[in-house]
Structures are given as C-alpha cells and as structure tokens.
Structure 1
Amino acid sequence: MAVLVYNWSADWTPEQYQAVHDRVLPDPTNPPAGLLAHVASPSDRGGWQVIDVWESEADFRRFTEEKVIPAAQDLGAPPFETKVTEIYNHLIP
C-alpha cells in the first residue's frame, strides 16, 4: 500500500537538504525504487520539510536507512522527525 512520508527538522537548512539530496540522488531522472513523488520546502514551523509518496513503507525505510541517514550523518546534518501514513487514494499525473 502506498504511503505518505512527512520528514521535518527545525534545524535543517536548504543547503543541508540540497547537499544530502545531491549525494543520495545524483541523477533525478533515476529515482530510487518505490518513490512516486518528492517535494521539499521550508516549513511554516521553521526549518525544512520533505514530503514523499512511496509505493510502500518498506521501500521508504530501505532507502532512508541505506542512503539518506548515512549521507546526512556524513555531512553533519541533524536528525529529523518522520511520520508515515497509509494513503487511501492518490493521483500523480
């Protein structure tokens, strides 16, 4: 089942996000298996937020644990909160 993933940190900056993004996804035309949509922006709570749609929570967890967290730690980026919700319906044209 598809999931909506919300990541947020009050301590992340656009520069930290971009550095991690560039490392884990050097070719945006070749997204990781299971990623359906990815959006990143400043948060109205401060800091930075990333909202994704994944085919499954397992796909999201695998990519995050194998790629995102190691890259963020390497670059000295702070931890982030994650919330995962099952999606009832989605349309990605």
Structure 2
Amino acid sequence: MAVLVYNRGADWTQEIYQAVHDRVLPDPGNPPAGLLAHVAAPSERGGWQVVDVWESEADYRRFVEEKVVPAAQEVGAPPFDTKVVETFYHLIP
C-alpha cells in the first residue's frame, strides 16, 4: 500500500534541505526505489517541509535510514518530524 509521508523540520532551511538533497539524490533522473513523488517547500509555520509518496512505508524507512540520516548528520542538520499515512488514492501522471 502506498504511503504519504510528511516531513517537517522546524529549524531546517532551504540551504540545509538542498545540502541533504544533493547528497541523497545526486541524480534526480534516478530516484530511489519506491519513491513515486517528492515535493519540498517552506512551511507556513516556519522551517521546511517535504511531502513524498512512496510505494510502501518500508521503502521510505529504508531510504531514510540508509541515505537521509547519514547525509543529515554529515551536514549537521537538526532533527525533523515525520508523519506517515496510507493513501486511499493517488494519481501521478
């Protein structure tokens, strides 16, 4: 079952996001297994937010553990909050 993943870093900035993104996804034409959609933007409450659609929560968790956490630690990024919900429907043309 596909999942919608909300990540919000209250102390993240566009620069921190970009530094992590460049490390975990150096070639946007070659996304990680299971990633269906990825969107990043400033949060209306401050900080930065990322919304993804993944084929499964397991795909998302594996990517975070293997790629995102090490890259975030490398650049000294602050922690972020995550919420995962199963999707009812998604359309990604």
Instruction: Name the residue aligned to 1:77.
Output: 77
Give, as a single letter, the amino acid of the residue that structure 2 aligns with 1:31.
P
Instruction: Name the residue aligned to 2:2.
Output: 2
What is the CA-CA distance between 1:29 and the residue it aligns to?
0.1
Give, as a single letter, the amino acid of the residue that structure 2 aligns with 1:72.
A
Give, as a single letter, the amino acid of the residue that structure 2 aligns with 1:43.
S
d(CA) in 2 for partners of 1:10 and 1:61? Answer: 21
Give, as a single letter, the amino acid of the residue that structure 2 aligns with 1:26.
P
- The list of structure 1 runs, each at least 4 consecutive aligned residues, that deviate by more than 4 angstroms after superposition, is none
For normalisation by structure 1, the TM-score amounts to: 0.99
| Residue 35 of structure 1 pairs with residue 35 of structure 2 | yes
Give, as a single letter, the amino acid of the residue that structure 1 aligns with 2:37.
A
Number of residues of Structure 1 aligned to a counterpart in Structure 2: 93
d(CA) in 2 for partners of 1:18 and 1:9? Answer: 13
SS at match of 1:58: helix
- How big is each residue's C-alpha offset from its partner over 1:44-63, in whole Å with a ceiling of 9 and x where there is no partner? 01000000000000000000
Instruction: Name the residue aligned to 1:66.
Output: 66
What is the CA-CA distance between 1:9 and the residue it aligns to?
1.1
- How big is each residue's C-alpha offset from its partner over 1:4-26, in whole Å with a ceiling of 9 and x where there is no partner? 00000110000000000000000
Structure 1 residues not aligned, in runs of 5+: none
For normalisation by structure 2, the TM-score amounts to: 0.99
